[in-house]
Amino acid sequence: MLNISQSKSDTALTVALEGRLDTTTAPQLESELKGALDGVTDLTLDLTALEYVSSAGLRVILSAQKIMNAQGKMKLTGVSEAVMEIFEVTGFADILTIE
Amino acid sequence: MNDVNVKISGNLATVSLCGRIDSNNAHDVETKIMSAIEGKTYLSVVLDLDKLEYISSAGLRVILRIKKNNSDLKLINVCTEVYDILEMTGFTEMMPVEKAYRVVSVDGCEEIGRGANGTIYRIDKDNVVKVYNNADALADIQHEREVAKLALILGIPTAISYDVVRVGESYGSVFELLDAKSFSKILSCEPEKFDWCVKEYVAMLKKIHSTLVPAGKLPDMRETVVSWARFMLDYLPKESGEKLLALVEAVPHDDHMIHGDYHTKNLELQNDEVLLIDMDTLAVGHPIFELASMYNAFIGYSESDHEIIKKFQGFDFETGSAFWRASLAAYLGTKDERKIRAVEDKARVIGYTRMIRRSIRRGGLETEKGKAEIELWKNELIELLSRTDTLLFSRNELEIEATNENLPMVLEFIEEHLDEIGCSPRIKMQISVAAEEIYVNIAHYAYNPDVGKATVRVEVTDKPLTVTITFIDNGKPFDPTKKVDPDVTLSADERDIGGLGIFMTKKIMDDVKYEYVDGSNILTLKKDIK
């Protein structure tokens, strides 16, 4: 189960994720971001309520990072210790902006 | 020719017909019958067709007109040829039609199986007959046929009876069973096949327990066991009796199939196929009820007299106990003695309950021997109840269709075991991430473009605390550990989107091992938990 909520002000977009980001839910986030990133210069992924992320989730996050590198910047907030460890194992901790 | 005979006594008219009824004599037959019953609509009419060899459509029309006059009409002693005509024309749907039964003798025939309701004999090379203990067994036979058909449709290999016969004063149902050998016989005569028997016996057990039965098609075993527990209230100390009932009532309703009498005489090897027989006890319910009856079959009933199992199964008590233990271990998917014993104890709670009730109902309290036995079982039961908090258990093994949709089920199954040992959320997530990679790999590639099965086994050991997760599939041989690791020092723009999964798995787990054995990919993940 993954709940996604967006809030936008001008060219800044915040996407809050709640639940599990895995093989079965990652396509949901991917299609949600697809149309939403046009014209966005500031993307924030709020992971406060994210309980679980697997490599399928990481792939979507990496795609978003690549898009935002071309048109602005992206940051992650509310990263739990457990999720942080997954980012560290994969070297994601070094290529993402984590607050 | 005297082809019609009508006898009226009270409200019953018995009409015997013999020979042939066709357009030549149908009119005469009808006149004779009608002159005796016309207008007497209160009569119940029984047509005794014992001597009737043939009936044409002219004859069938006579039957229809009798039915119109006396709606309470029944046909008995119908020979196979006439029965076929009646069935083809739909008459068997319109009125009760009872077949004439072939008479079969089982004198000198080999006994090949024995269940709660009857004994199975081989009557010739290709056929066996199950003779029911109950003399008035037609309803039981009908029931067994229905449930065997249901089981077959749901994918359980079994034999379905094709004929009902008379055997002395009892009824029997005849099955085709070519050259089959029961697992009891294999275990007795070919002890070197012990491991093979365990494997096949457990495979069938898992198949039964993973079969979902449409609601209302089979009796609910839980209700039966609740009634046993209620019965015991009068024979146990108050506290124990109430606990027993509460434990049984806490077992949730389960729509999966259980066999109800699953021992090695009810499993047959025919050519290379394993068949389940003796289906009359089929029910739905939690597998603990099945394990209880298995415990009794291999140990319980023979615990105080080891000769009993020899008489019944052909092998000795030690073989029976070893077979039960090995099967339980394989069924649970664990070698952990403590876990196996814990589940065995739950099975014993219901097992003793059943044996005590059975013995009391058979007058066990009226003999010294029976009393002593009941006392022994009762003490065991009271002791078990004092340290049992639930009858539920979980297997360490899950077998499912390898699809993305089943991923949550797999992770839940694994996390349940991790919770049992009090795993931190951090470690739990890491292990789940690793397991997800391996599982999703199987779901996507192993059987592509088809779908196949995957087995997931979780084993936890303490001292040192380790978790071992094994994935087994029968798809294309594939060694994921051979995949080249991605360069994780590259920047976001330089990095590939994929290729992370296996790398993460290897980083997270302490040991990742791949084997290809007998057509199976076996991937084992191990993690030490500090």
> pLDDT for A49-88, tens place per residue?
999 999 999 999 999 999 999 999 999 999 999 999 999 9
On whether any CB of chain A is under 8 Å from the CB of B203, the answer is no
CB distance from B403 to chain A under 8 Å?
no
When pLDDT is averaged across residues B483-497 and rounded to a whole number, the result is 79
Chain A residue with Cα closest to B405: A24
How much is the mean pLDDT over chain B?
Answer: 91
B498 touches chain A (CB under 8 A): yes
Tell whether the model's pLDDT for residue B114 goes beyond 80. no
Could you tell me where in chain B the CATH 3.90.1200 domains are found?
186-386
Which residue of B lies nearest to A53 if distances are taken between CA atoms?
B433
Tell whether B440 is within 8 A of chain A (Cβ). Answer: yes
Q: Which of B430, B440, B492 sits opposite A62 (nearest CB)?
A: B492
Each residue of B399-446: pLDDT tens digit? 899 999 999 999 999 998 898 888 888 899 999 999 999 999 999 999
The CATH number of B186-386, from 1.20.140, 3.90.1200, 3.40.50, 1.25.40, is 3.90.1200
- Give B397-528's CATH code, choosing from 3.40.50.11810, 2.40.30.110, 3.30.565.10, 1.10.3720.10: 3.30.565.10
B226 has a pLDDT exceeding 70: yes
| Four-residue CA torsion sign, B238, B243, B244, B250 | positive
pLDDT at residue B1 is higher than 70: no
Strands B170-176 and B127-132, sheet pairing:
antiparallel
The residues of chain B that CATH labels 3.30.200.20 are: 110-176
**Predicted pLDDT at B125:** 84
Q: Over chain A, what is the mean pLDDT? A: 93
Q: Is the ipTM of this complex over 0.85?
A: yes
Minimum distance, in Å, between the CA of residue A9 and any CA atom of chain B: 26
- CB nearest to B426's CB, from A81, A91, A94: A81
Q: How far is A5 from chain B (nearest CA, A)?
A: 22
**What are residue B63's DSSP bridge partners?**
none
- Cβ separation of A86 and B504 shorter than 8 Å? yes
Q: Residue B487: pLDDT band by 50, 70, 90 thresholds?
A: confident
Q: Which CATH architecture is the domain B110-176 placed in?
A: 2-Layer Sandwich (3.30)
The edge-to-edge listing of strands for the beta sheet with B170-176 is B102-103, B163-167, B170-176, B127-132, B118-122, B110-114
Structure tokens at B222: 């839980």
Which residue of A lies nearest to B508 if distances are taken between CA atoms?
A89
Distance from the Cα of A8 to chain B's closest Cα (Å) equals 25
Identify whether the C-beta of residue B113 lies closer than 8 Å to the C-beta of residue B119.
Answer: yes
Instruction: Enter the CATH code of domain A2-95.
Output: 3.30.750.24
By C-alpha distance, the chain A residue nearest B489 is A91
Label residue B113 by pLDDT band (50, 70, 90).
Answer: confident
* Structure-derived torsion over alpha carbons of residues B40, B41, B42, B43, reported in degrees to the nearest 10: 70
Residue B385: predicted pLDDT: 97
Q: What is the pLDDT of residue B529?
A: 86
Tokens 């309520």, residue located: A49
Which pLDDT score, from 0 to 100, does residue B192 have?
96
In A, minimum Cα distance to B503 occurs at: A90
Q: Tally A–B CB contacts below 8 A.
A: 74
The answer to which of A24-33, B123-132, B288-297, B320-329 has the lowest mean pLDDT is B123-132
How far away is chain A from the Cα of B499, in angstroms, using its nearest Cα? Answer: 9
- Strands B12-21, B44-55: parallel, antiparallel or unpaired by DSSP? parallel
Which of the residue ranges B71-75, B99-103, B232-236 would you say has the lowest mean pLDDT? B99-103
Contact across the interface for A52 and B491, Cβ inside 8 Å: no
Residue B363 carries which DSSP code? T
The partner residue sitting opposite B489, judged by closest CB among A53, A59, A91, is A91
For the stretch B12-49, pLDDT in tens is 999 999 889 999 999 999 999 999 888 888 889 999 99
Residue B3 has pLDDT above 90, yes or no: no
Query: H helices within B182-220, ranges in order?
Result: 183-189, 194-209
Distance from CA of B426 to the nearest CA of A (A): 5
Chain A, nearest residue to B435 by Cα: A54
Predicted local confidence at residue B45, as pLDDT: 93
- pLDDT tens for each residue of B321-356: 999 999 999 999 888 898 899 999 999 999 999 999
Q: Which residues in chain A have their CB less than 8 angstroms from residue B503's CB?
A: 90
Give the pairing type, strands B466-473 and B520-528.
antiparallel
Whether B508 and A56 lie within 8 Å, measured CB to CB: no
pLDDT of residue B285: 97
Please report, rounded to a whole number, the percentage of residues in chain B having pLDDT higher than 70: 99
Give the residue with greater pLDDT, B87 vs B348. Answer: B348
| Residue B165 in tokens | 């016969």
Task: Average the pLDDT over each of B323-337, B385-399, B469-483, B484-498 and give the range with the smallest value.
Answer: B484-498
**Which residues in chain B have Cβ-Cβ distances shorter than 8 Å to A90?**
488, 500, 503-504, 507
Instruction: Specify the fold of B4-100.
Output: Transcription Regulator spoIIAA (3.30.750)
User: Is the pLDDT at B313 greater than 60, yes or no?
Assistant: yes
CB atoms within 10 A of CB B445: 14
